[in-house]
A and B are shown apart, each in its own frame.
Chain A
């Protein structure tokens, strides 16, 4: 091993610069080991450890170099930032990857780079690393690389034949944001390679169907990342963008990263804390797009441009669409079940399985993992609600927020208001008195059941 201290210093700098890239996913590829080779990939991916911020670490995530020619305001590596500059040699990276891999520290390599000299030059450096790993070391573990915007298509194509996943970061949700904060990057330079990668992927999978041994091209697909909270964009714009990326480019994942202030550029918000809750809500909505059959326009619209901070996007949607409920657990199809707050992918799958052999009751679905605290307002089992319930939006909202384990009846004199933050107290002022402060009468319940409120 060459100069150990030098390597240590490089690792410090180049891992530090890479850490704002969110993706550390090692899934989607099922590369098998070959005789004399090392490594394999699991389709589900494997997390090897979790850093102090709770994020999964599965790949050796480093930059090739942080000597950037660009000056993007949101980026820690911008040319105008006073930062130690350094670069790994391809051999150093290959050696680190293999030795970390042999100790099962990592699942593979995630290699990115600042733009050194030119996009083409940078891409060539990256290709040298992946070629060394795949050809000289016969490494079959996971490799994720960045396609450098503006690099020649032939280089991107060559790189794609070696790696499992390639990504181009879109960084900012609108071209206005891009113009303001990353004046040297053009929307076209980002979407160009994305389109190219996605058409190559389609072409390859076409060929695969016809010829068994046709070469691979990024078998784990492409992903991208955008920063949340660096510009004034609403959640609606972000979600529509993601939806478009999933549809148009067959993107496997869109990652969101709450903006962490790394610069005091005048155009950037000087947020003290990254908007983690907002990031979380957008991730939840992203899941709803990918696995739950929701469309962006269902979750948000012009009159409702940002997610509710208190309720998750599905609950929020359900409350605005109460006319679609209740849903009968024993009859509703899979995708309808998925729309119920408190029923996730796994519990919906279990319900579909279990009801093949018997009619399910509330006690049964609780065992299957349904969160009744939320689901109870939206479902019936064998035609009945779990309890006498008032199905008005405000009532449900209050009870879900209060997280009450009690039956959701509000007893006279017993005030659940104290559970709520002041903003909700204010909201309650506008409610009809019986809703908030006393139990609904039998008549009210009957009326609400039939929708005649």
Chain B
């Protein structure tokens, strides 16, 4: 088993892909150094991230495969699946052979896995555009917490920057300790810890209680179906929902 180790960044994966081609090797896996468990039967090569190399791969994906393929790879990286690096490498190998038609090969395992990782991530982004709950804190900022399966704050931010453009907001991923911060003009993603969150405003309590009341009222007792509710609104999202506190 030949395994490449990268530093956990997207550029790291692309550098590893570059190295595999330039060293004429076929690594069996490309893994992140985070959470890596080494075993004695494998040989490991640590790849130093090199932006000149990753840029070449990046441009080549865009030019020789498709913009979609680039998006697929980046989303696979954001999924934080341990196999993401390996998958991206295999997908790109196919992509450079087949060009933009690679995504039609849905029954190929690599393409299939790539598509299902992407589908899961996009579904979670879509869900969260609905499940994010802001509360107004002192200073007029609207603050929310999430702990998504995929690393999606940066994909959520544009949606809320358009929609809630006149209010400053924070979407805090407490699992990864990062947040998207918006100041009514632009948004950035940065490291963030929950220590210095101001208290909620007075108004906040009123609206959240009204919302809970509304939520409770809307269910029709004779149609009660908790199983369906859990299927559509999985438990893991409940902690962050105002109506479920």
Contacts and interface: CB of A to CB of B under 8 A. Distances in A.
Given A46-B126, A353-B106, A368-B107, A19 B217 contact: yes
Interface in A74-131: 96, 99-100, 102-105, 107
A103 B142 contact: yes
B203 A19 contact: no
Interface of A: 1, 4, 7-8, 11-12, 15-16, 19-20, 32-33, 35-40, 42, 44, 46-58, 60-61, 96, 99-100, 102-105, 107, 141, 258, 260-261, 273-274, 276, 350, 353-354, 356-358, 360, 363-365, 367-368
A96 B220 contact: no
A196 to B, nearest CB: 30
Given A49-B241, A52-B226, A104-B133, A15 B218 contact: yes
A54 B228 contact: yes
Given A38-B165, A102-B134, A368-B107, A357 B207 contact: no
Interface in B104-141: 104-107, 112, 126-127, 129-136
Contact of A52 (B136, B167, B208, B225): B225
12 contacts: A11-B213, A39-B163, A47-B130, A49-B215, A49-B241, A52-B225, A54-B227, A54-B228, A60-B214, A61-B218, A105-B211, A276-B223
A96 B164 contact: no
Contact of B218 (A37, A51, A367): A51
Contacts of B227: 54
Contacts, number: 162
B66 interface: no
B231 to A, nearest CB: 8
A381 B161 CA distance: 48
B169 to A, nearest CB: 9
B106 A350 contact: yes
B36 interface: no
Contacts of B208: 103
A15 B133 CA distance: 21
Residue of B131, B214, B215 with most chain A CB atoms under a 10 A cut-off: B214
B232 A20 contact: no
Contacts of B144: 104
Contact of B107 (A56, A102, A276, A367): A367
Given A12-B213, A103-B242, A260-B220, A50 B163 contact: no
B210 A48 contact: no
10 smallest CB-CB distances across A and B, nearest first, come from A54-B228, A364-B107, A52-B219, A53-B223, A51-B219, A54-B225, A48-B130, A354-B106, A50-B233, A15-B217
B163 A8 contact: no
B188 interface: no
* Residue in A51, A53, A54 whose Cβ sees the most chain B Cβ within 10 Å: A51
Contacts of B233: 49-50
Contacts of A16: 217
Contacts of B167: 38, 102
Interface in B6-42: none
A353 B111 CA distance: 13
B230 to A, nearest CB: 9
A42 B127 CA distance: 13
A56 B241 CA distance: 15
B222 A33 contact: no
Given A49-B130, A354-B105, A103 B220 contact: no
Of B130, B136, B231, most buried by chain A (CB within 10 Å of CB) is B130
B56 interface: no
A357 B111 CA distance: 13
Contacts of B195: none
A11 B134 CA distance: 21
A54 B104 contact: no
A46 B129 contact: yes
A1 B209 CA distance: 14
A50 B233 CA distance: 6
